[in-house]
């Protein structure tokens, strides 16, 4: 089948995004690959985000709105609802409400996905993610260098071990094939981020491919729902960590609960993974014993500052039930 004929479904979770959502949708409309459907679910915005989407949908039949009575689901489960609705599609892309896609984003990501399916087979769960450029308010460049992407270029493989250290897959850059959706959905309510859950599934059961090309502008601003790469110095990052230690403790707790849920998710599928089993044993320990086990597994964080702070926090934490 010719690539132009391939249908791609884009899922966009919106919430209080009236200042940016029109620009994002217009960037999707400028794609060189025209056979797409944009499926939007608004999470009970109190501004006019939904009205903007409805207006644009009235003028472009490719823009569709997912309506239900489930209320405010928060970002992760909002994406889960969208992905469940699109789960029978061959290819799905995730889209944030406040970024700008380059015109060839779908075309180039789809080409990479199809090459991967030719290599590994369409029955293999596959996730493709890409590089991006970071901008701020007024679309001014924050940095020409994406620290997260620069660090992952040194990884020999985008595998489960590297993902256990930190999530380097940004959902807004991803494309999923149907097999990955079949294996990863529904996303657990214990999951903090939809992109991490999808990446973990791809790493555990299939493949993760990186397209080393910028395909979008990633907007970084105060009201962004999603997080993003920071460009601060080592000293500033560590000082911020110390000042907000309680928050980081909570992040570790949430991360471990998410991984526990993911472990049981795989077990429920009849899948056994020795690395995950060892990781579960490690996070069930405390103090120095826990640090030693995680280090022996090869768990590495995004940088030296984050890694040092992570292990210090583990030493200072009490066991979480």
How does pLDDT run across 220-244, given as a tens digit for each residue? 865 445 545 554 555 555 555 555 5
CATH topology of domain 3-219: Spore Coat Polysaccharide Biosynthesis Protein SpsA; Chain A (3.90.550)
Task: Tell me which of 61 and 148 has the higher pLDDT.
Answer: 61
CATH 3.90.550.10 positions along the chain are: 3-219
- DSSP reduced 3-state for 272: coil
Model pLDDT for residues 14-51, shown as the tens digit of each residue: 999 999 999 999 999 999 999 999 999 999 999 999 99
Q: What is the pLDDT of residue 254?
A: 87
Token digits of residue 148? 């997260």
Q: Look up the pTM and report it.
A: 0.89
Mean pLDDT over 99-116 rounds to 98
For 175-201, what is the mean pLDDT? 96
Distance of CA 84 to the CA centre of its chain: 16
Whether the upstream peptide bond of residue 186 has omega within 30° of 0, thus cis, is yes
The Cα-based distances of 94 to 14, 108, 127, 156, 246 in angstroms read: 12, 15, 11, 26, 31
Task: For 288-312, write each residue's pLDDT tens digit.
Answer: 999 999 999 999 887 787 888 888 8
pLDDT tens per residue, range 68-83: 999 999 999 999 999 9
More confidently predicted of 93 and 150 = 93
Binning pLDDT at 50, 70 and 90, where does residue 7 land?
very high
pLDDT band, residue 11 (cuts 50/70/90)? very high
């Amino acid at each position: 089948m010719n690539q132009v004929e391939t249908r791609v479904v884009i899922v966009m979770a919106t919430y209080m995004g009236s200042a940016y959502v029109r620009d994002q949708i217009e960037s999707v409309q400028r794609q060189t690959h025209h056979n797409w459907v944009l499926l939007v679910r608004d999470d009970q915005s109190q501004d006019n985000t939904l009205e903007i989407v409805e207006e644009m949908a009235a003028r472009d039949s490719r823009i569709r709105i997912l309506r239900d009575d489930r209320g405010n689901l928060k970002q992760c489960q909002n994406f889960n609802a969208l992905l469940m609705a699109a789960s029978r599609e061959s290819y799905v892309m995730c889209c944030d409400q406040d970024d700008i896609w380059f015109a060839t984003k779908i075309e180039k990501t789809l080409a990479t996905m199809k090459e991967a399916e030719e290599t590994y087979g369409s029955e293999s769960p596959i996730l493709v993610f890409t590089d991006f450029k970071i901008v701020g308010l007024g679309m001014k460049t924050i940095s020409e260098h994406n620290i997260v992407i620069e660090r992952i270029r040194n990884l020999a493989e985008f595998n489960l071990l590297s993902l256990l250290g930190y999530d380097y897959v940004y959902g807004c850059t991803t494309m999923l094939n149907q097999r990955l959706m079949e294996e990863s959905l529904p996303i657990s309510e214990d999951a903090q981020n939809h992109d991490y859950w999808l990446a973990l599934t791809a790493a555990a059961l299939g493949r993760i491919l990186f397209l080393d090309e910028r395909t979008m502008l990633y907007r970084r601003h105060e009201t962004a729902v999603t997080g993003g790469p920071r460009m601060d110095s080592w000293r500033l990052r560590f000082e911020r960590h110390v000042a907000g230690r309680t928050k980081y403790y909570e992040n570790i707790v949430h991360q471990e609960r998410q991984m526990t849920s993911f472990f049981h998710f795989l077990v429920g599928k009849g899948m056994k993974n020795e690395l995950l089993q060892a990781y579960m044993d490690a996070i069930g320990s405390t103090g120095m014993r826990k640090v030693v086990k995680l280090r022996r597994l090869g768990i590495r964080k995004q940088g030296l500052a984050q890694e040092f702070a992570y292990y210090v926090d583990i030493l200072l934490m009490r066991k979480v039930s």
